[in-house]
Amino acid sequence: MQLERREFLGASLATAAGLFAACASDRRASAAPAKPLSILVFGGTSFIGPAMVPYATARGHEVTLFNRGKTRPELFPELEKLRGDRDPKKGDGLKALEGRKFDVVIDDCGYYPRMVKASAELLAPNASHYIYVSSISAYADNTTENQDEDAKLAELADPTVETMGASFENYGGLKVLCERAVEAAFKGRSTIVRPGYIVGPGDWTGRFNYWVVRAERGGTMLVPGAPTDPLQIIDVRDLGEWMVRLAEEKTLGRFNACGLKERLPWGTVIDTCAKVGGAKDLKVRWVSIDDLEKHKDEEPFKSANFSIWAPYVGESKGFHTWKNQRGVKAGLTFRTLEDTVRSTLAWWKTVPDDARGKQLAGPTAEQEAEMLKRLG
């Protein structure tokens, strides 16, 4: 019997949270913050939170969590936890936050503008700084390479929509509206962080994990595109720790959070996964975009999901090429790719067996074998 998503989170991210907490003191920057901050974190127990919260507390900050208490409520027993709902129309809504004062708010789970607007407006009189985690998907155009934070943003035809859409087509536009709600409530006191794919220990999406785990399995591995295609990722630990430092420095503005510092070739990612996995019989079978196009209407090509990678052509040519210089200048740092791959694999080995297959976002072994057979 496979675990449901919430059960998977509880079983696997608990280990990740323990790892983060155990080494938080080792990851502290050499310079201590000028003064401890009172930090309100929305959520805090899913993916980004367990990478960020131990770092913040290790640096002497007072952290309060606000969430529904549904995802691992036992995590961080030493912290104050306020219960409620992002939707002010549900249950007690945001009542637990009324009258509370904080130095900074870190919001990494705001998806719908009505709800983000409600929390931002409620907290604006009583908090000095609001850090909102948006997404690289907030941009309207992925055809152009090497764009920065001033690129055109996505717009929704219906700004009141509260669904992501069948193909997640509303996600970027909703993030833009959430950004605007924060910036309107916290005029001159907000920070917008736009990550690309967030990866590393505790990643329940399975997108990056697929390649790490698949390389370790060995055999002939089907890889789309070309080794020179660009790829951008950010380790959840780098993202979480940087946001704490943004809070300490009260750094304002809009920042892309895409790594690594220099352009990362897709082939380097695959090579690193192979090195860490250590499978002596691994053979990489690169499949060009042209060959994939020839088979796009055939199964299993039609339904197979090549996660993380995006075709380096047409509408997605610029997807993995966003500039990150502003973030780097504001203190964003990146651990090595090998560290991320090795830590991801180590965490994955702690995931319960009956949760593993369900949480890998890539072709099944059967799909891969059939595609290799068709390609010859």
DSSP code per residue over 58-123: HTT-EEEEEE-S-S-TTS-TTSEEEE--SSTTSTTTTGGGTT--EEEEEES----HHHHHHHHHHH
Q: Does the pLDDT at position 5 exceed 50? A: no
Q: Does the pLDDT at position 11 exceed 50? A: no
Angle made by CA atoms 328, 16, 67, in degrees to the nearest 5: 85
The C-alpha atoms of residue 166 and residue 258 are separated, in whole angstroms, by 26
User: What is the identity of the amino acid at 357?
Assistant: G
pLDDT in tens, 348-375: 999 888 877 666 899 999 999 999 999 9
pLDDT for the residue 25: 43
Percent of the chain at pLDDT exceeding 70: 91
Average pLDDT over residues 163-173: 97
Q: Mean of the per-residue pLDDT values for the chain?
A: 92
pLDDT for the residue 353: 84
DSSP 220: E
The C-alpha atoms of residue 257 and residue 331 are separated, in whole angstroms, by 11
Structural domain spans, the chain: 5-370
Q: Does the pLDDT at position 111 exceed 70? A: yes
pLDDT in tens, 176-195: 999 999 999 999 999 999 99
Average pLDDT over residues 94-117: 98
Q: Does the pLDDT at position 7 exceed 60? A: no
pLDDT for the residue 211: 98
Q: Does the pLDDT at position 216 exceed 50? A: yes
| Residue 18 pLDDT class (50, 70, 90 cuts) | low
CATH of span 5-370: 3.40.50.720
User: Which alpha helices (H) appear in the chain, and where do they start and end?
Assistant: 5-8, 14-22, 48-58, 113-123, 171-185, 207-217, 236-249, 266-277, 289-294, 325-329, 337-348, 353-356, 365-375
Percent of the chain at pLDDT exceeding 90: 87
pLDDT in tens, 69-93: 999 899 999 999 999 999 999 999 9
DSSP 27: G
CA distances for 120 relative to 24, 62, 64, 213, angstroms: 29, 20, 16, 40
Tokens of 319: 């997807």
pLDDT in tens, 225-238: 999 999 999 999 99
100 phi and psi, to 5 degrees?
-80, 140
pLDDT for the residue 51: 97
CA distances for 314 relative to 168, 308, 318, 324, angstroms: 20, 17, 9, 22
Q: Does the pLDDT at position 6 exceed 50? A: no
Q: Does the pLDDT at position 136 exceed 90? A: yes
Tokens of 333: 């740092």
Tokens of 138: 């907030």
Greater pLDDT, 29 or 259: 259
Tokens of 127: 């908090």
The C-alpha atoms of residue 255 and residue 247 are separated, in whole angstroms, by 14
pLDDT for the residue 376: 87
Q: How far is CA 334 from the centre of its chain?
A: 14
Tokens of 350: 């702690």
Q: Does the pLDDT at position 14 exceed 70? A: no
